[in-house]
Amino acid sequence: MTAVLDGTAAAGAADARTLTYAEAVREALGQAMAEDERVLLMGEDVGVYGGAFGVSGDLFHRFGPERVVDTPISELGFVGAGVGAAMAGLRPVVEIQFSDFTCQAMDQIVNQAAKIHFMLGGAAHVPMVLRAPGGSGTGAAGQHSQSLEAWFAHTPGLKVVMPATAADAKGLLLSAIDDPDPVVVLEHKLLYKASGPVPEEAVRVPLGVAAVPRRGGDLTMVATGVMVGRCLEAAERLAGEGVSASVVDVRTLSPFDAPTVLREVEATGRALLVQEAPRHVGFMAEVAARIVESDAVYRLRAPVARLCGLDTPIPYAPQLERAVVPQVDDVVAAAVRLAGVG
């Protein structure tokens, strides 16, 4: 029987051990491949080399070259091959070395994978997972550090997840592989070495369900990806200043778990929306709109606030790179302003 738990429960499962985020992804891939011979991994350097960030590790030696497939340097080509393999009955997991490189494959992702099920009247499915590391903080500059989640979440037909913990990296990936339709999994490069409790069992975390890792009474922080950890750290510091904050981890951007977010915002009356991506037309603009379109707007004690990356390409210089995306100090300052205690 397949175990399914929410993220908090998954992390606290009796058989949980401490793994890094990258190890958790690798374990999910290994367990899925062992369970189902239709599952295969494909991408640049995922074989003997073990992946650009070491995520695939020893999977090539465990499952062989027919199921861990090194591809040419052609994102358009191998993502298209993944779409075709999925339509033919396999369950490919396609790894992109940097999420920025999805730009080379957007026709296959947006025009083919996302739409084939609908354009063929439901006669075909594309059970493909696209894994792509994104985000800044590694000094990789403007073409290797972007946060492109809004592009994908805007596309009907794609599910989009952003795991923030090692347990969710494993559990959400397992659910994505099970899904009959395409799922984009955006992993943050800075999280690959972060560790946390991860169930040994192949525990699924359902898609479309947000997590609430911390509850407080003064304001609600809604965050995605690496910003979840920064909000939790900020909440700890705020507690020392007498400000009690909730933190909501969106986890799945599409489908979006609006009821959980609205419930938590209604409970505190203040919403601080935090993302690494630039502010203009970002995912948190959608979250803000959902709040003001709902009855939660009548419970607000202050206008909805957004804390986002600046509307600029990610710089190479470390001090500038840190300056253009929210850090813990920025979250604390924004929360103090919103709570009216500054």
Tokens of 272: 């601080």
Sort 162 into a burial class: Cβ within 10 Å, 0-12 / 13-18 / 19+.
buried
Report the candidate in 163, 188, 190, 189 with the shortest Cα–Cα distance to residue 176.
Answer: 163
Q: Is 144 one of the catalytic residues?
A: yes
Q: What are the CA-CA distances from residue 225 to residues 41, 71, 240 (Å)?
A: 23, 28, 25
Beta bridge partners of 184: 130, 160
Active-site residue, from 23, 27, 144, 286? 144
CA distance 178 to 334: 39
Which residue's structure tokens are 């609600």?
Answer: 220
Interhelix angle 328-339/226-240, nearest 10 degrees: 60
Report the candidate in 88, 82, 22 with the shortest Cα–Cα distance to residue 57.
Answer: 22
Q: What are the CA-CA distances from residue 228 to residues 30, 71, 139, 327 (Å)?
A: 27, 33, 21, 11
Active-site residue, from 23, 75, 266, 321? 75
Report the candidate in 323, 324, 328, 326 with the shortest Cα–Cα distance to residue 306.
Answer: 326
C-alpha dihedral over 182, 188, 194, 198, to 10 degrees?
A: -10
Tokens of 324: 């253009």
Residue length, the chain?
Answer: 342
Q: Is 117 one of the catalytic residues?
A: no
Q: Which residues are catalytic?
A: 75, 144
